[in-house]
């Protein structure tokens, strides 16, 4: 096991790695490595592991594409580190995909309201949410809504309210693809 860890570390030290796919089911492989030059990251983040948090935050300056598959606990941590901390600005991130394994009972709300003006993704052009919009405010759209070219998300009441807050009636000129999915509620008739 130690040899495998050392081999991976040696690879990262000696090669220019631009992309990494990491599943949190094998956290022993990466003991919070100092990787800070990734341009693409596809990560499965379960149980709020600090390994994934460290990899995501240490690459905030270089990431251009980020795909995060997660549970609700990890979503809370992702929201905390990305939206609530203005030290993490993903200035080069163009594509963001969030996949939530389970639906939240209610959207996450910013209890401190400290970072209301923080724009974590100023260059975002593609946003795909394989879930309903998980936040109680428009934090993911701050500073990038006018640049969005691709928007794909599930719609529920909260999602509709957030989009209304953005004045979706004034569609950005850049928007070329918008796909909204209205999932059936379990109590809806077939």
CB 151 within 8 A of CB 174: no
Q: In this predicted model, which residue has the larger pLDDT, 37 or 113?
A: 37
pLDDT digits (tens, 9 = 90+) for 154-182: 888 888 888 887 765 556 788 889 888 88
pTM given for the model:
0.78
Mean pLDDT, residues 125-133 taken together: 90
Mean pLDDT, all residues of the chain: 75
pLDDT digits (tens, 9 = 90+) for 37-86: 788 888 888 776 777 788 888 889 999 999 988 888 888 788 777 766 77
CB 100 within 8 A of CB 130: yes
pLDDT of 116 reads 58
Mean pLDDT, residues 110-134 taken together: 78
The secondary structure of residue 183, as a DSSP letter, is P
Task: Extract the tokens encoding 71.
Answer: 């549970």
């Amino acid at each position: 096991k130690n040899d495998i860890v050392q081999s991976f570390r040696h690879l990262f030290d000696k090669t220019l790695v631009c992309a990494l796919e990491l599943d949190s089911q094998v956290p022993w492989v990466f003991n919070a490595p100092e990787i800070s030059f990734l341009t693409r990251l596809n990560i499965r983040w379960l149980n709020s592991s600090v390994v994934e948090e460290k990899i995501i935050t240490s690459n905030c300056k270089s990431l251009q594409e980020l795909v995060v598959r997660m549970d609700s606990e990890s979503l809370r941590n992702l929201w905390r580190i990305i939206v609530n901390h203005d030290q993490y600005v993903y200035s080069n991130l163009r594509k963001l995909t969030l996949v939530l394994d389970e639906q939240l009972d209610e959207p996450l709300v910013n209890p401190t309201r400290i970072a209301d003006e923080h724009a974590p993704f100023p260059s975002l052009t593609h946003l795909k949410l394989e879930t309903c919009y998980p936040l109680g405010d428009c934090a993911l759209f701050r500073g990038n809504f006018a640049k969005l070219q691709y928007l794909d998300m599930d719609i529920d009441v909260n999602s509709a309210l957030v989009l209304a807050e953005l004045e979706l009636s004034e569609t950005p000129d850049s928007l070329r693809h918008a796909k909204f999915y209205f999932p059936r509620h379990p109590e809806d008739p077939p």
